[in-house]
Structure 1
Amino acid sequence: MEFLNRLVIPQSAENLELLRYILILALVLLLPYLAFLKGVSLYSVAFNLLGRRNGNENYLRFSKDLIDVVTFNKSIALVLGIIPILSLILIYSQLLHASKMGVVGFMFTAGLLFVPAVVLIYSYKYTFNLDWLLSMASSSGNTPAEGVPEEPKMERSEVEAFTKSNLRVSRRSGIWGVILLFMASYFVISGIQLSFEPDMWSQKHTFFGLIFSMSAIYKYIFFLISTVAATSGAILFYFFSWKKQEAEAGEAKEDRYRNEIKRFSLISGIWAVVVLPVFILLSLFMVPHGAVSDSFFGLSLLILFILFALGHFYYMMLKQSGVNYSASIFFLLLIFFVLFTVNDQVAFSYATQRHELALASNYEAIVKEKMEKAGKGPAISGKDIFDGRCSACHRFDRVLVGPAYKNVLPKYEGHRDQLTAFISNPTKKDPAFPPMPNQGLKPREVEAIADYIMKTYKQYK
């Protein structure tokens, strides 16, 4: 990512802190959406294949409902997916500049995988919907009304060939879209995990060694289980809270379909919520030592409490055979993802403190250098320079190693430029005295000492 390093602008400590908050916001937008998109797309493709294999209409309907929910708007993938990933690339390139870590490369790879994945998922949706319409049209057997000319019909073989081709495209688009989504999410999660492991920055690791490190694999398994929980909660919320009125209008007809959805979502959700606390507890021992803090432990305990509340609501839905807690489960899962994201960034903040201080110091040095070149640096004391550099050889009223200033400065009155030129690059003037050594002073220091000795000389006159 050399071209990104060239785009990096040195930042102050305040700006680096602001970038951390923007990073949290980008991850809060990206991770829940990525989990939901990946989980729903996987379920849709899986139930689509199972429904066609077993001839189960409810499976096919569930598959169609799922993919329609997750792709309800084309711009949602841009706002919650592509833009946050681009933000991660730019922010990590700033925060981890000169760290020699491949986090930015991971995020860049995730972006390259995510874009075609989204295109394939939308292709899967449209071809699936087209196949659904073709199936409905072929089964309806509608005939034109009396007096309306009948439109020319395609040959049955042509319709079957088109249907098979469309179905093949739909299946391949869905499968490959899900595969690319899993790969993109793996690069995102492994990049986040490696970002707060500075011990690995100074070691020589291959690209594959970093990708398949134990910590990255562990964190991704945790994210997969979180994906199951998020997808379960989103399905329950959509079918039993968002579409509640629509479902009640045709309750008798929808009863079997809704029961299958509820049973599947509750079983998968409660399984994920039971397993997640184990991973949270293990993470307390696996997190790098430099990333551990009181805030990290406190947020981990809060996450465990959220998971306990989720387990309680899942249990109540199973026990009461109702759907009253679907909205509570959904919003608690959103809070879980927010806390999970913030906890990781707390670890990242503590793990990269030294690196951030180095970046801030580098920024201050650059600003100081540019200010000095522009003549706008901090005030320079001519007296301090005289006491440190000149007083060993010069006095104003008497000869020491060099001549007395009262004897040599009169010729420089009104010629400040000549005096500064001599101090900057001294040459031998009087054979009675040794040559004055070059002090290596900066331009502003030369001006300060020239003004000081001329002002002091005038007081001795």
Structure 2
Amino acid sequence: MFNHILLQTPVPRDLPLDLPLPKEVLIVLLVFSFLLHILFVNLMVGGSILTLWSQIKGLKNKDYDTLAHEIAETITVNKSLAVVLGVAPLLSINTLYTVYFYSANALTGIFWISVIPLVTVAFLLTYAHKYSWKILENNKALHISMMGLSVAIFLFIPLIFLVNVNLMLFPEKWNTIEGFAHALTLPNVFPRYFHFLLASLGTTGLFIFWYFGRKSYDFESHFTTLTRYEIRKKAYSLTFGASAAQFIIGPVVLLTLPTKGFSWHLIFTIGIGVIFALPAMYWIWKGITGKAEDIANNFWKVALTLGLTITFMGSGRHIYRATALAPHQKLVEAKTIAYKKEVKEATEEMKNAPAEKPASDNPGEAIFQAKCSACHAMDVKVVGPPIKEMVSIYKNDAKGLHDWILKPGKKRPDYPQMPALGLSEQEINDVANYILEQK
């Protein structure tokens, strides 16, 4: 069935250019740089959501407003790192999957292009929100609205990216997709998106747990009612809840993905990631339910094991992509080989073609070919009389031929009037001499 669908799929030829690095190196670079990039994207998205939530709660409890301000301080840094670290995976995926990436770009159209202005607006809003905290102290509705709009944009941008990258995997859908909104209807889009949101909240919870737990952080000078333990427990609980939800939605993501990308290698890789997540969940739960002074005992174990989980999950993403696209890539490769063969044959044909006859050194012949050959041939009538007939008329009257070329007229009813050629005196003499030299 899939092979039948594949036959109906657009198959462009690839760019016949060598990769700048070995393919294996580019794959490692893509996976590693993407994981770094998505880490700070998670912190940016999750941080903005928690800032909004905390600031709304801060309307009744001043300490939550302080918490919102402290988290907001990190958003602008994390979003800058997310953008900078996004360059490497973007270049890598462009290089490895050029045909697929740009085809998806074209299908998502204006929404893909809108990422740039949306990112710009969101960044400006986060900076404005951060630096207007005191200025808008008495206008919380406006201040919270700024963060609310930032959150909305930060939530929409990843959805655009996800739809675009998702379309890369399904060239068999390219003939049927009619824009961004239509691409949203693919069954695996929203499960993957919700999985991303949960990852953002879980990662941010872990970050906040570390951030407010630092010994160098003067907690008591910022907060009056909330304790360090309370904030860290809430952060740990957020990570636990988001991770537990991922265990539920993860299988949904897999079940909604087309089976064409599945392999035992993929199942093994994801399985290893899940195995590493299990002790992390246990240690987090132990920290939440244990004594306050013991809450951070296993933090670095949690960070390490969840980091390994993310690494294996990121590798699984690439394995699925490579497996899903392999059949189509073979078709593209065959078309590219055929194209290269055609180019080589055309090049050889040009090399072996007989050399063109060099242009004559006779200026009269050159003028005749340029100005006269459309109407006159050697011995047959084309529009005007043949050259041989001209020679028979003017062989002893070179001046007569000269005057005729200078000021042509109409002599015979079965021939059209010859137009004036606009030649110089020298050109007329040259072409007249050439005509009279013909036998």
After TM superposition, the score normalised by the length of structure 2 is: 0.66
Q: 1:30–1:85: 8 Å Cα contact kept in structure 2?
A: no
Alpha-carbon distance in 1 for matches of 2:166, 2:31: 14
Indicate whether 1:300 and 2:270 are aligned.
yes
Alpha-carbon distance in 1 for matches of 2:106, 2:85: 26
Q: Mark the CA change 1:275 to 1:268 in structure 2 (over 3 Å): closer, same or farther.
A: same
Alpha-carbon distance in 1 for matches of 2:66, 2:103: 52
Indicate whether 1:41 and 2:48 are aligned.
yes
Identity %: 17
Q: Of Structure 1 and Structure 2, which has the larger fraction of its residues in helix? A: 1
Residue pairs, 1:168-317, within 5 angstroms: 170-240=143-213, 243-246=214-217, 256-317=226-287
Partner residue in 1 for 2:85: 80
Q: What is the letter of the counterpart of residue 290 of structure 1?
A: K
Please list the CA deviations of residues 181-206 of structure 1 after superposition, one character each: whole Å capped at 9, or x if unmatched.
00001122233333323442343445
Q: 1:107–1:188: 8 Å Cα contact kept in structure 2?
A: yes
Alpha-carbon distance in 2 for matches of 1:274, 1:302: 17
After TM superposition, the score normalised by the length of structure 1 is: 0.63
Q: What is the letter of the counterpart of residue 63 of structure 1?
A: A
Q: 1:299–1:343: 8 Å Cα contact kept in structure 2?
A: yes
3-state SS in 1 of match to 2:212: helix
Please list the CA deviations of residues 381-406 of structure 1 after superposition, one character each: whole Å capped at 9, or x if unmatched.
xxxxxxxxxxxxxxxxxxxxxxxxxx
Alpha-carbon distance in 1 for matches of 2:272, 2:65: 39
Q: What is the letter of the counterpart of residue 70 of structure 1?
A: I
- Give 1:231 deviation, angstroms: 1.2
- Give 1:246 deviation, angstroms: 3.7
Q: 1:85–1:111: 8 Å Cα contact kept in structure 2?
A: no
- Give 1:278 deviation, angstroms: 2.1
The worse-fitting range, judged by mean Cα deviation, of 30-39 and 174-183 is 30-39
- Give 1:323 deviation, angstroms: 1.3
Q: What is the letter of the counterpart of residue 244 of structure 1?
A: K
Indicate whether 1:67 and 2:40 are aligned.
no
Q: 1:280–1:304: 8 Å Cα contact kept in structure 2?
A: no
Partner residue in 2 for 1:339: 312
Residue pairs, 1:73-222, within 5 angstroms: 75-81=80-86, 84=89, 92-96=97-101, 102=107, 107-128=112-133, 130-131=134-135, 164=138, 167=140, 170-222=143-195
Partner residue in 2 for 1:397: none
Alpha-carbon distance in 1 for matches of 2:127, 2:349: 57
Q: What is the letter of the counterpart of residue 44 of structure 1?
A: T
Please list the CA deviations of residues 64-116 of structure 1 after superposition, one character each: whole Å capped at 9, or x if unmatched.
11111232478424313467557656765444456797368765444443332
- Give 1:171 deviation, angstroms: 2.5
Q: How many residues are treated as equivalent by the alignment?
A: 340
Q: Mark the CA change 1:257 to 1:57 in structure 2 (over 3 Å): closer, same or farther.
A: farther
Superposed CA RMSD: 3.9
Alpha-carbon distance in 2 for matches of 1:34, 1:74: 7
Q: Which runs of 5+ in 1 are unaligned?
A: 1-5, 132-161, 381-415, 419-461
Alpha-carbon distance in 1 for matches of 2:26, 2:114: 21
Q: 2:66–2:222: 8 Å Cα contact kept in structure 1?
A: no
3-state SS in 1 of match to 2:252: helix
Q: Mark the CA change 1:185 to 1:73 in structure 2 (over 3 Å): closer, same or farther.
A: closer
Q: Mark the CA change 1:417 to 1:101 in structure 2 (over 3 Å): closer, same or farther.
A: closer
The worse-fitting range, judged by mean Cα deviation, of 29-38 and 72-81 is 72-81
Q: What is the letter of the counterpart of residue 39 of structure 2?
A: P
Q: Which is greater in Rg?
A: 2
Please list the CA deviations of residues 119-141 of structure 1 after superposition, one character each: whole Å capped at 9, or x if unmatched.
2222211212x44xxxxxxxxxx
Q: Which runs of 5+ in 2 are unaligned?
A: 1-11, 356-439
